[in-house]
Structure 1
Amino acid sequence: MTEQKLDRRARRTREAIQAAFVELILEKGYAAVTIQEVADKADYNRGTFYKHYVGKEELLKEIREVFLKGIREALLRPYKGMDQVEATKIYPSTLKLFEHIECHKKEFKALITVHRGISEDLYNTLRTSMREDMHMEMEPGDPPLDYELMLSYRLSATVGVIMHWADTDFKYSAEYMADQLLALVNSKIDHIVFKTKP
Structure 2
Amino acid sequence: MAENTTDRRVRKTRGQLRQGLVRLMREKSIQDITVKELCEECDINRGTFYLHYTDVYQLLHSIEDELLVEFERVLDGLTAQSVLAAATPSPAMCSMFELLADNADMCLVLLCHNGDMAFLEKVKDIVRLRVLDEWGAQFRSNGRDTYDYVYSFIVSGCIGMLQCWLEKEMPISPREMAAMVEGVLVKGVTALL
The TM-score, its normalising length taken from structure 2, stands at 0.73
- 2:18 alignment counterpart: 18
Q: Given the superposition, is the C-alpha separation of residues 141 and 107 from structure 1 closer, same or farther in structure 2, using an over 3 Å criterion? A: closer
User: How far apart, in 2, do the equivalents of 1:157 and 1:38 lie?
Assistant: 34
- 2:49 alignment counterpart: 49
Q: Secondary structure at the match of 1:54?
A: coil
CA displacement, residues 161-195 of structure 1 (integer Å, 9 cap, x when unaligned)? 22332343433321121111111122269xxxxxx
Percent of aligned positions that are identical: 23
User: How far apart, in 1, do the equivalents of 2:40 and 2:143 lie?
Assistant: 59
Q: Given the superposition, is the C-alpha separation of residues 120 and 140 from structure 1 closer, same or farther in structure 2, using an over 3 Å criterion? A: closer
- 1:61 alignment counterpart: 61
* Greater length-normalized contact order (CA 8 Å, ≥ 6 residues apart): 2
The number of aligned residues is 183
Q: Given the superposition, is the C-alpha separation of residues 94 and 35 from structure 1 closer, same or farther in structure 2, using an over 3 Å criterion? A: same
Structure label with greater radius of gyration: 1
The TM-score, its normalising length taken from structure 1, stands at 0.71
CA displacement, residues 104-145 of structure 1 (integer Å, 9 cap, x when unaligned)? 1111122232336244333222223335xx834866997246
- Native 8 Å contact 2:108 2:166 kept in 1: yes
List alignment gaps of at least 5 residues for structure 2: none
Q: Given the superposition, is the C-alpha separation of residues 92 and 137 from structure 1 closer, same or farther in structure 2, using an over 3 Å criterion? A: farther
- 2:97 alignment counterpart: 98
RMSD: 3.5
- Native 8 Å contact 2:139 2:146 kept in 1: no
Cα offset for 1:40? 3.7
- 2:109 alignment counterpart: 110
Q: Given the superposition, is the C-alpha separation of residues 78 and 13 from structure 1 closer, same or farther in structure 2, using an over 3 Å criterion? A: farther
- Native 8 Å contact 1:119 1:159 kept in 2: no
List alignment gaps of at least 5 residues for structure 1: 190-198
